[in-house]
């Protein structure tokens, strides 16, 4: 596995220890769909993400004007194809038998130029290229699965093709004839996984992934493509590089990595977290019963509030590092310093007894 990003961890004085996060990304394209090669490649460790633009900076007019969808030229990925398919001409004939009344459009799609046509997972949508009274394109027909056949009146149409989150839109001009077209999606996919760096088990139910585009908008934010992906899921995407954010729990165990999707390949990406599940308890003595109605604040080594909760057994997943647990109960405040080691889930007891606090203070002084 390759190290995808490291934040140095200092081991100096208390409250001067910074949290460290290291991401390890293993991304190996493997055989995914029919017609694809099995050549293995390794995605190298990504560079740090580009700096966000200043959200307060004055807006700059776009150099390239937004192109009206109706004025778009057909995309080169949409091409005519020879096929043995031929709809029954009688089914296209007008009732009076004077000739064809509609045209036939037969559509197929494949991942790459060299792969076989897909037989499942496609969504085809046919739109009229003129807007209705509400200023919207009218949906004429839909089909799901593999190849698709449409019987349409002569005219110009927009064909939208979706394969997961890989999408393409093309214009077709159809007369009273049969047309067969092939779409090359130039798409691949990512299969997501999560683990701990040193092989310790990780609670898969607490891990999620979000996929973003690489560019920032004028507000300094990335465009989220899909979120809340669970480990083991396969997401189909256009061939490109994506910014992936993996969260373990809901506090601060967050790992980021840039992952490349190759056309016709399945990139198997495993994010390695450095965190642990911590349960806090306020007790009168070591091993005692937890005291209810306790308000908690967990502070970072720099004194910033990381998370807050109320209860006898608050439970959090925390990134590797040093923390302080601040417990408030019955008008009194108790403070305890603890460390989080990757994969070492445990209970942290905050003791109220004076003797325990004195012992802890003497040990800290030494």
- Asked if 299 and 324 count as a contact pair (C-beta separation under 8 A), the reply is yes
Q: Is the pLDDT of residue 95 over 80?
A: no
Residue whose tokens read 């799609």 = 109
Weakest mean pLDDT among 16-20, 137-141, 188-192: 16-20
Query: Going edge to edge, which strands form the sheet with 222-229?
Result: 222-229, 207-216, 240-248, 254-261
């214009």: which residue's tokens?
171
Q: Counting beta carbons within 10 angstroms of the beta carbon of residue 249, is it exposed (0 to 12), middle (13 to 18) or buried (19 or more)? A: buried
Could you tell me which residue, 209 or 218, shows the higher pLDDT? 209
**Separation CA 236–CA 289 (nearest Å):** 50
Q: Over 90: is that where the pLDDT of 18 sits?
A: no
CATH class of 2-58+187-273: mainly beta
- What's domain 78-184's architecture? Sandwich (2.60)
Rg (CA), the chain: 29
Q: Which residue has better confidence, 320 or 32?
A: 320
- The count of other CB atoms within 10 Å of the CB of residue 101 is 14
Q: Is the pLDDT of residue 184 over 60?
A: yes
pLDDT digits 0-9 by tens, 219-276: 899 999 999 999 999 999 999 999 999 999 999 999 999 999 999 999 999 999 999 9
Q: Do domains 78-184 and 276-365 have the same CATH topology?
A: yes
Q: Phi and psi for 66 in degrees, rounded to 5?
A: -70, 130
Identify the three-state secondary structure at position 47: coil
Can you name the residues that pair with 283 across neighbouring β-strands? 351
Domain extents in the chain: 2-58+187-273, 78-184, 276-365
Structure-derived torsion over alpha carbons of residues 298, 302, 305, 307, reported in degrees to the nearest 10? -50
Dump pLDDT digits (tens) for 40-81: 333 334 444 555 555 565 543 333 333 333 444 444 467 777
List all residues 6 or more positions away from 93 whose beta carbon is below 8 Å from its beta carbon: 99, 100, 101
Confidence check: pLDDT of 36 > 50:
no
**Cα 137–138–143 angle (5° rounding)?**
115
Q: How far apart are CA 333 and CA 21, in angstroms?
A: 30
Report pLDDT digits (tens) over 154-164.
999 999 999 99
Residue 3 pLDDT grade (very low, low, confident, very high; cuts 50, 70, 90):
very low
Q: What is the pTM of this model?
A: 0.72
Residue 78 pairs in a beta bridge with 183
Distance in Å from the first CA to the final CA of the chain? 40
Flag whether pLDDT at 166 surpasses 90. Answer: yes
Pick from 13, 16, 10, 18: which is nearest to 319 by CA? 18
CATH number of 276-365: 2.60.40.1120
Rounded to whole angstroms, the Cα distance separating 300 from 18 reads 8
């Amino acid at each position: 596995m390759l190290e995808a990003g490291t934040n140095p961890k200092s081991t100096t004085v208390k409250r001067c220890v910074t949290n460290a996060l290291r991401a390890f990304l293993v991304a190996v394209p493997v055989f995914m769909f029919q017609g694809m090669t099995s050549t293995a490649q390794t995605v190298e460790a990504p560079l740090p993400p580009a700096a966000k633009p200043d959200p307060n900076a004055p807006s700059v007019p776009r150099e390239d004007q937004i192109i009206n969808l109706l004025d778009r030229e057909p995309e080169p990925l949409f091409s005519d194809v020879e096929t043995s398919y031929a709809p029954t001409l009688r089914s296209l004939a007008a009732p009076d038998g004077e000739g064809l009344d509609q045209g036939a459009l037969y559509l197929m799609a494949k991942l790459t130029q060299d792969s076989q046509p897909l037989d499942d997972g496609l969504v085809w949508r046919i739109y009229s290229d003129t807007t209705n009274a509400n200023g919207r394109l009218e949906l004429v027909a839909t089909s799901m699965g593999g190849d698709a056949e449409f019987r349409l009146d002569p005219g110009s149409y927009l064909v939208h093709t979706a394969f997961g989150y890989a999408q393409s839109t093309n214009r077709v001009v159809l007369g009273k004839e049969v047309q067969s077209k092939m779409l090359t999606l130039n798409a691949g996919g990512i299969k997501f996984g999560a683990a701990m760096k040193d092989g310790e088990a990780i609670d898969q139910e607490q891990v999620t992934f979000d996929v973003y585009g690489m560019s920032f908008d004028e507000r300094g934010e990335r465009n989220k493509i899909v979120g809340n992906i669970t480990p083991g899921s396969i997401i189909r995407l256009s061939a490109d590089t994506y910014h992936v954010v993996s969260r373990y729990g809901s506090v601060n165990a967050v790992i980021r990595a840039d992952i490349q999707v190759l056309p016709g390949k399945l990139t198997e990406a495993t994010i390695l977290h450095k965190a642990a599940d911590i349960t806090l308890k306020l007790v009168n003595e070591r091993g005692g019963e937890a005291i209810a109605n306790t308000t908690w604040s967990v502070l970072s080594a720099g004194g910033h509030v990381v998370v807050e909760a109320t209860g006898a057994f608050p439970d959090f997943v925390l990134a590797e590092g040093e923390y302080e647990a601040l417990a408030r109960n019955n008008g009194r405040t108790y403070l305890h310093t603890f460390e989080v080691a990757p994969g070492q889930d445990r209970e942290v007891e905050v003791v109220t007894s004076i003797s325990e606090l004195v012992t802890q203070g003497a040990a800290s002084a030494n």
